[in-house]
Structure 1
Amino acid sequence: VVVLVAELMDILDQSVVLTALPAIQASTGTGPAAVQWLTAGYSLTVAVGLITGGRLGDLHGRRKILLIGTALFTLASLLCGIATGPGVLIAARVIQGAGVAVMIPQVLATLHVTFDSENRSRAFGLYGAVLSLASVLGPVLGGVLTQLDLFGLSWRPIFLINVPVGLAVIILGRKFIPESTAQNANRLDLTGMLLSALAMALIIFPLTEGNTHHWPLWCFAMLAGGLLMLGVFLRHQQRQQGNTPLVALALFRGKQFSGGLSAQLMLGLLCGLFFTTWTQYLQRGLDMSPIMAAAAFVLLALGELAGATVAMKTAGRFGHRLPQAGALIALGSMAAYGLQVSSRQANLTLL
């Protein structure tokens, strides 16, 4: 239960910010590019550090690293809650992402080693339920806490609420989470870690800042450098396959793995772009309150939950045709939404 609460904190924090973005922008004077960095800075840090975080748990103990990540995340949440300007807030969000990057890999690993094969499926089923619950609760919690304006703090409680929860995870985790390490892990690939971090930064930074600066030459130069650095990283990982690489490149030889990962990558990119813009449009364009905007997110989450439920029961029967049908439905609904985007009734289409 304790490790699932840690996962819940991460998923909630990803989604709770969305409905609070307009309030954050208004109170801190944050520009459009800085608003992107409130989410992109967090996600970038998680993406860069996730593989390294998993290896740290293998080497130094999963409980130890999980509690360190939770402490870092909790401290960063406090900094977010007391931030007075966009610079401090973005920096605190980056620190939050670093905490999550070392915390979350330990959740799945701990569930895997703690439960036997008979109970493991139940544990992972509960893990999936927590993810679904958090995806619904996050936007609602963000909208409610922002609109209630508790103690005149406006959006700040969406971050401050993490502090007591994080402290509880640390205290209970020390008592109840068993310690474990990986038997075959012997060292951390520092070169690979630095190469991957540099490649991600060179790619993500110009994509976030390019539109604000009208896509100058340095943006394209950074993108080219990022792709080159990514190639260097992959070459380095190929040489490390006999030792302890950060990425097991052999996995990508499987068409199902590569295809599924590519689809997930595209989904993540498009969802990140859409939701950051959509939450601004609902509140600034349609003049919705934070709670009403949260209700629109709930409709979307309920649609996702219903689709996932049907998919789990019918995947064996329809195979790859099922996600293809889901993609076509999503494309059609998004096209219909775009055609009537100026109407309040458009949000029903999104369900």
Structure 2
Amino acid sequence: MSESEATDDPIGYFLQDMVYHGKSERTRTEYERVLRRFESFLADPDVNPAGRSVVPADATHRDCMAWVHSLRGTVASSTVAIYAAYLHRFYGYMTQVGVFDSNPMTLVTEEMDESIEKDPTRRDIDVPTMRAFVADVRHPLHRALVGTFLKTGIRVGELCNLDLQDLSLDDAELSNAYDLGGRPQLDARPNSLFVSSNPTVGEQHNGDVRSASNKRKRDTVIPIDDELSQLLKSWLAIRPDSVSPADPLFVGTSEGWGERLTPNAVHNIVTTYASEVGWYRSGGGATENVTPHYFRHFFTTHLRDRTGDRGIVKYLRGDVATDIIDTYTHNWGGQVRETYESNIYSIL
């Protein structure tokens, strides 16, 4: 995008640079939604304080402050703070690269009362209620997605990056049909899932350019219980052949037939079901919305309460230090699998 194009459409310029910085499609979509909403506010003389159409480059701190104020009462206060942070970053970046002269959001954010909740109190869903939710998910792919989230606590990007070689299932018929469990980390560990720390957005992994990054600090092997095994087998029975040489575990069955699912596609699947039971609404924050990330919270909370072992849960989440994770890696069957199988909740 040229300098003149950057001036004509600074939001488009910013979003293009986000691509170069490796930001996910979902993140860019969220930024665009918020920034275009701000742009529309500025362009409407009936709602902005200037009383005339204003472009983002000419917005003052008063214009920004008025937009933030217009959000209050329409979204949660923490969401107001998130939207303001998006706008602040936009102006900060455009000022830094020399397209804008100054950042009008600096003063606004200093004066704001709202704060982004770092650890929000999320919707409290018990296991029986979640079990009823899963019962209403009928499509084998969707059931396998939700089941994998609930039984493993992995992130949406990590789920999308799973390949058939990352899955070990003790099933002779499936093993003949698919090249499962090719990872050396899965040797002597039947019925388990390998989650790598390596995949990075925009880079090749196992011969396939990835649309998301895995954020865990270390490779992790997660046990698969009978319920998740059942859900995965039902999915593999109808899984289309993949167009990717990496053979993704989860691929599209409608748009993008046979292509690796993206985080955005998985997010839409989950939130569609959540909307039907009143667990998701557009503009809702983390305190009320059930998204793929909510399942990680659910897994962490319920498994930690059942095991009383924070170390095991941290190992399964892939967010522990080397010395701790090595302890569980060396005694995986006797410590990780036994603890997991003794305490994992039922979702079917």
| TM norm. shorter chain > 0.5 | no
Counting helix residues as a fraction of each chain, which structure ranks higher?
1
Query: Bigger relative contact order, structure 1 or 2, given CA contacts below 8 A and separation 6+?
Result: 1
| Structure possessing the higher radius of gyration over alpha carbons | 2
Which TM-score band (shorter chain)? under 0.3
Counting strand residues as a fraction of each chain, which structure ranks higher?
2
